[in-house]
Structure 1
Amino acid sequence: MKRTTSFFAMILAPALLLSGCGQGRQAPTVRVGVALYDQSDTFISTVTQQLEQLFQEEEQLRGIKINVSLADGRSSQSVQNEQVDRFLDQGYDIICVNIVDRTAAAVIVDKAQGAQVPVIFFNREPVEEDLRRWEGAYYVGSKADRAGILQGQLVLDAWREDPARLDRSGDGVLQYVMLEGEAGHQDTLLRTEYSIQTLTAGGLSSEKLQSATANWQRGQASARMTQWLEQLGGAIEAVFANNDDMALGAIDACLAAGMTAEELPFIVGVDATPPALEAVAAGTLKGTVRNDAAGQARSIVDLSCALLDGQSASSAVTLEDGKYVWLAYTAVTAENLEQFRQAQ
């Protein structure tokens, strides 16, 4: 990147001069554009809230104005491309992108490079070749296969502890259904694959009764689960959901069908969103995998400030392969729930 001088220092100097002259003029503004794939997604909303809070703290610390502008792509890559174009055309200083289509990052990277504006992708990982097109492009997120492994381990541990709790049919085989995110999305594929692979590696036989795409959405998951309950009844012993919103949708369907919390299948999700943690506390969600929203937001802000300060990215965050900031997943159950609820 060509930005070698501290951007914060460049804008802060005239602000100090103005205050010294007693003109009462406002300090200059740093503009941060945040392009979201879908702002209604519970996890993305949580990350966004954390981002806004942390940038406000930086604003107070530095004595300048940091303007964070959010744009909702509404699950359309063409809409998101237009939003990124507006950020660049209006001279934004850094852009953060939760990309709609992970295979479409090249266009955004090339435009950011042309404008010499750093771009930080987060939570939805671009194709590696696209990210490597320019040194000013980075990614902050978590490895999707690890989420699948931990989710599978939650079920495997519960089976080993008390097989009868899950094995309602008594056949020694776990009958499950799978609620999947977007078709073809990397998180969908890896979370699905590795959750079941973990069961197999642990010696647990399993049988998939049904699987369907619910696009990360609670309502769609509830509709799917309602259909399966009508078809399969009590044969469903476990529900794997690629995220918490879909897990909560499955719970909604079960409760609407008249089940008590004790009668629900063993349902697990991913993200550890606030509503999901409440469901764990209630005993309807048996476990989830914490996707570190606060950690992602903190890394994005630290990386943004380092780049605007003219510092190397590695001075602010731990980078892997010069491009990636990886946050760890953590399994959440009723036993360790409180530490995560307190961290909200």
Structure 2
Amino acid sequence: MTKKTLMLATALSLVAGLAGAQDKPKIGAAVYGLNAEFMQIWAQAAENHPAVKEGLVELTVFDGRYDALVQQEQFETMITQGYKAIVFVPIDIEAGAAAVDAAAAAGIPVFGSNTRVNSDKLTAYVGSDDVQSGYMEAKHVLDKIGCKGNVVIIEGPIGQSAQIQRLEGNQKALAECPDVKVIEQQTANWSRAEAQTLMENWLTAHPGEIAGIIGQNDEMALGAIEAVKAAGLKPTDFAIAGIDGVTDALHAVKAGDMASILQDGHAQAQGALDLAIAAVLPDYKPMSEIWSQYPDMPWADGKAKEYNVPWTPVTADNVDALLATRQ
């Protein structure tokens, strides 16, 4: 092969490679923030989806940095760059609607996952019932304190669907215990550090008066535990609960310091991505194992509007098995 022929063959190969890359549908995953473990688990599950690993689609995960405006700008980028579908985990239930509307106007289907957005333009949603988890965690705390005494509630970011719905579940459980008083209630924005500061202040303001701590996610419950320990108190002297089943929370459950409920971010991410891929690839069949893992959540040919991933309470019987999945 002459040098000229070799150069021509190389050029043709490069052109073919570029054409193949351009033919591969681009899917975006716009998540509200990647600072904490739960959304890192979600993002990793999306990136490890079998269809992504096999190169059927090109996936880009966008870090929304806990800012609705940043998420709006990321949608504008995806629309401009010709993304074929978007999976959306919004920071704000209302503010996220404009982003969904813009994508829909551009003919790009948007699939919700994990947190909700108030838009009728959303193609489908894959997540878990946050009202149910809020009730479950509060019920644990209230049962442990015998439906008497004072509790505090550490909330997620105000205006995010998980905060709104978990609070609804918290209040539903509290309504069953009229002798329990909520003496403090404030957001810590899903942050362990913010929750620790809140709890330090509350322990100082209400010495010996707090019996239960309802953290709307594990990170905040863990922050409260750090504050309790820093005050020279024992976590076991309180009833403490969180939601998500992050690794440190699993260890804390095993130690008897708190209760937690596993939110399956892996299933939420891969389920939503299966739907998004089915929307852009003709004759696509779901490739994630989550559909066989959760037979009560059928694939329904990818046509259902709601897919409900079940919660799994973390217990002494299953905590070691859950920890083994984090190795």
Same fold (TM over 0.5): yes
Q: Does 1:287 align with 2:259?
A: yes
Structure 2 residue 72 is matched with structure 1 residue 81 = yes
Deviation, 1:126, is 0.9
Contact kept? 2:32, 2:67, Cα under 8 Å: yes
Q: Within the alignment, does 1:306 sit opposite 2:261 as a pair? A: no
Moved more, 137-146 or 110-119: 110-119
Maintained 8 Å contact 2:32/2:66: yes
Distance 1:151 1:221 in 2: 17
Q: 1:123 to 1:309 in 2, by over 3 A?
A: same
Q: Which residue of 2 aligns with 1:17?
A: none
Q: CA deviation at 1:318?
A: 4.5
Q: Judging changes above 3 Å, is the alpha-carbon distance between structure 1 residues 38 and 23 closer, same or farther for their aligned structure 2 residues?
A: closer
Q: Aligned partner of 1:52: which letter?
A: E
Distance 1:225 1:311, change over 3 A: same
Relative to structure 1, the CA distance from residue 117 to residue 277 in structure 2 (aligned partners, 3 Å threshold; closer, same or farther) is: same
**What do residues 250-298 of structure 1 show as CA deviations (whole Å, max 9, x unaligned)?**
01111111224444x11100111122112212222x2112111111022
Letter in 2 for 1:41: A
CA distance in 2, matches of 1:193, 1:109: 25
Equivalent residue, structure 2, for 1:10: none
Check if 1:273 corresponds to 2:255: no
Query: Is residue 261–residue 314 contact of structure 2 (8 Å, CA) maintained in 1?
Result: yes
Deviation at 1:317, TM superposition (A): 2.7
1:329 aligned residue = 311
Give how far 1:313 is off: 9.9
1:238 to 212, 215, 239: 212
**What SS class does the counterpart of residue 233 from structure 1 fall into?**
coil
- Supply the AA of the counterpart residue of 1:301: L
| TM-superposition CA deviations, 1:28-84 (whole Å, max 9, x none) | 333221212122133212101111111xx22444xx363322222222222211111
Q: 2: CA distance between counterparts of 1:319 and 1:211?
A: 43
Q: Using the aligned pairs only, state the percent identity.
A: 29
Per-residue deviation, 1:246: 0.7
Amino acid at match of 2:185: S
Query: Aligned partners of 2:321 and 2:136: how far apart in 1?
Result: 18
Specify the alignment match of 1:33 in structure 2.
28
Check whether the contact 1:287–1:334 (CA below 8 A) recurs between aligned residues.
no
Q: Show structure 2 runs of 5+ residues with no match.
A: 1-11, 292-297
Q: 1:58 to 1:320 in 2, by over 3 A?
A: closer
Contact 2:142 2:212 survives alignment (8 Å): no
Shift of 1:227: 0.6
Aligned position for 1:296 = 268
- The number of residues matched between the two structures is 300
CA distance in 1, matches of 2:172, 2:325: 31
Deviations 1:323-344 (A, max 9, x none): 2222112222334323332344
Partner of 1:189: 164
Aligned pair 1:133/2:127, yes or no? no
Superposition TM-score, scaled by structure 2 size? 0.82
What's the TM-score, normalizing by structure 1?
A: 0.78
